Amino acid sequence: MDTTPPRWKRRKEARPAEIIESALTLFVDKGYAATRLDDVAKLAGVTKGTVYLYFDNKEELFKAVVRETVLPNLEFAETVVAEHQGSSEALLWHLLERWAERMTESPTTGIAKLMIAEAGNFPELARFYMDEVVLRSRKLFSAVIERGIQSGEFRPVDVALATRATTAPLMMTKVWSQSFALCDPEIIDLRTFARFHFELMMAGLRA
Amino acid sequence: MDTTPPRWKRRKEARPAEIIESALTLFVDKGYAATRLDDVAKLAGVTKGTVYLYFDNKEELFKAVVRETVLPNLEFAETVVAEHQGSSEALLWHLLERWAERMTESPTTGIAKLMIAEAGNFPELARFYMDEVVLRSRKLFSAVIERGIQSGEFRPVDVALATRATTAPLMMTKVWSQSFALCDPEIIDLRTFARFHFELMMAGLRA
Amino acid sequence: MDTTPPRWKRRKEARPAEIIESALTLFVDKGYAATRLDDVAKLAGVTKGTVYLYFDNKEELFKAVVRETVLPNLEFAETVVAEHQGSSEALLWHLLERWAERMTESPTTGIAKLMIAEAGNFPELARFYMDEVVLRSRKLFSAVIERGIQSGEFRPVDVALATRATTAPLMMTKVWSQSFALCDPEIIDLRTFARFHFELMMAGLRA
Amino acid sequence: MDTTPPRWKRRKEARPAEIIESALTLFVDKGYAATRLDDVAKLAGVTKGTVYLYFDNKEELFKAVVRETVLPNLEFAETVVAEHQGSSEALLWHLLERWAERMTESPTTGIAKLMIAEAGNFPELARFYMDEVVLRSRKLFSAVIERGIQSGEFRPVDVALATRATTAPLMMTKVWSQSFALCDPEIIDLRTFARFHFELMMAGLRA
DNA sequence: AATGAATGAGCCTTCATTCAT
DNA sequence: GATGAATGAAGGCTCATTCAT
Smallest Cα distance from A5 to chain B, Å: 35
CA A30 to CA A27: how far, in whole Å? 5
What pLDDT, in 10s, does the model give residues B32-57?
999 999 999 999 999 999 999 999 99
Q: Model confidence at C25, in pLDDT bands (50, 70, 90)?
A: very high
What pLDDT was estimated at residue A109?
A: 79
Interface probe for D, chosen from C172, C174, C199 (most Cβ of D below 10 Å), is C172
Query: Using CB atoms, which residue from C162, C164, C196 is nearest to D173?
Result: C164
Share of chain A above pLDDT 70, in %: 94
What pLDDT was estimated at residue D9?
A: 63
What DSSP character marks residue D12?
A: T
Q: Which residues of D touch C162 (CB under 8 A)?
A: 196, 200
Q: Is the pLDDT of residue A53 over 60?
A: yes
CA B75 to CA B94: how far, in whole Å? 15
Smallest Cα distance from B13 to chain A, Å: 33
What pLDDT was estimated at residue A168?
A: 96
CA D137 to CA D143: how far, in whole Å? 10
Residues 8-47 on chain A lying near strand F, CB distance under 7 A: 9-10, 35-38
CA distance between the termini of chain D:
78
What pLDDT was estimated at residue A75?
A: 82
Query: Which of A67-81, C135-149, D111-125, D159-173 is predicted with the least confidence, judged by mean pLDDT?
Result: A67-81
Instruction: Show Cβ contacts of residue B191 under 8 Å, excluding neighbours closer than 6 positions.
Output: B97, B100, B101, B104
pTM of full prediction above 0.85? yes
Interface probe for D, chosen from C103, C127, C180 (most Cβ of D below 10 Å), is C180
Q: Across residues C52-73, what is the average pLDDT?
A: 91
Q: What residue has its CA nearest to the C1' of E14?
A: D49
What pLDDT was estimated at residue D104?
A: 86
Q: At what angle do helices D190-205 and C190-205 cross, to 10 degrees?
A: 90
CB atoms D180 and C30 under 8 Å = no
Ramachandran angles phi, psi of C206, nearest 5°: -65, 145
Count residue pairs from A and B with Cβ separation < 8 A: 170
Q: Residue type for A193, please?
A: F
Nucleotide nearest residue B50, measured CA to C1':
F2
What pLDDT was estimated at residue D2?
A: 43
What pLDDT was estimated at residue B6?
A: 46
What pLDDT was estimated at residue D72?
A: 77
Which nucleotides on strand E sit less than 7 A from a protein beta carbon?
1-21
- Write down all domains in chain D, each with its CATH number in brackets: 1-55 (1.10.10.60), 59-205 (1.10.357.10)
What pLDDT, in 10s, does the model give residues C26-41?
999 999 999 999 999 9
Instruction: Pick the more confident residue, A100 or B6.
Output: A100
CA C199 to CA D199: how far, in whole Å? 14
β-sheet bridge partners, residue B206: B154
Q: What is the mean pLDDT of chain B?
A: 90
What pLDDT was estimated at residue B19?
A: 96
CA distance between the termini of chain B:
72
What pLDDT was estimated at residue D102?
A: 87
CB A178 within 8 A of CB A111: no
- Chain A residue with minimum CA distance to B119: A179
Q: Chains with ≥3 Cβ pairs under 8 A against C?
A: D
Q: What is the mean pLDDT of chain C?
A: 90
CA B81 to CA B91: how far, in whole Å? 7
Closest CA to B90 of B137, B138, B136, B144: B144
The number of helices, as runs of H, and strands, as runs of E, in chain C is 10, 0
Query: Using CB atoms, which residue from A29, A165, A175 is nearest to B200?
Result: A165
What pLDDT, in 10s, does the model give residues D52-109?
999 999 999 999 999 988 887 788 888 888 888 899 999 999 999 999 998 888 777 7
What pLDDT, in 10s, does the model give residues C121-180?
999 899 999 998 999 999 999 999 999 999 999 999 999 999 999 999 999 999 999 899
What pLDDT, in 10s, does the model give residues A143-191?
999 999 999 999 999 999 999 999 999 999 999 999 999 899 999 999 9
Asked if strand E comes closer than 7 Å to D58 Cβ, the answer is yes
What pLDDT was estimated at residue A70?
A: 83
Q: Model confidence at C117, in pLDDT bands (50, 70, 90)?
A: very high
Query: Which of A30-34, C15-19, C192-196, D76-80 is predicted with the least confidence, judged by mean pLDDT?
Result: D76-80
CB atoms A165 and B196 under 8 Å = yes
Closest CA to C29 of C18, C50, C43, C16: C43
CB C132 within 8 A of CB C167: no
CA D161 to CA A13: how far, in whole Å? 62
CB A23 within 8 A of CB A35: yes
What pLDDT was estimated at residue C14?
A: 76
What pLDDT was estimated at residue A8?
A: 59
What pLDDT was estimated at residue B2?
A: 46
What pLDDT was estimated at residue D85?
A: 87
What pLDDT, in 10s, does the model give residues C98-108?
999 988 887 77
CB D201 within 8 A of CB C200: yes
Q: Is the pLDDT of residue A91 over 60?
A: yes
CB atoms C33 and D29 under 8 Å = no
Long-range Cβ contacts of C6-12 (<8 Å, 24+ apart): none
Sign of CA dihedral B50, B53, B59, B65: negative
Distance D164 CA to E12 C1' (A): 40
Distance C32 CA to E16 C1' (A): 37
**DSSP code string of A28-92:** HHH-TTT--HHHHHHHHTS-HHHHHHH-SSHHHHHHHHHHHHHHHHHHHHHHHHHH--S-HHHHH
Query: Using CB atoms, which residue from C173, C183, C200 is nearest to D204?
Result: C200
Q: What residue has its CA nearest to the C1' of F14?
A: A49
CA D110 to CA D130: how far, in whole Å? 16
Q: Model confidence at B108, in pLDDT bands (50, 70, 90)?
A: confident
What pLDDT was estimated at residue A2?
A: 41
CA B194 to CA B103: how far, in whole Å? 12
Q: Model confidence at D1, in pLDDT bands (50, 70, 90)?
A: very low
Instruction: Show Cβ contacts of residue C63 under 8 Å, excluding neighbours closer than 6 positions.
Output: C122, C125, C128
Instruction: Show Cβ contacts of residue B159 under 8 Å, excluding neighbours closer than 6 positions.
Output: B142, B145, B146, B149
The rounded Cα B182 to chain-centroid distance in angstroms is 21
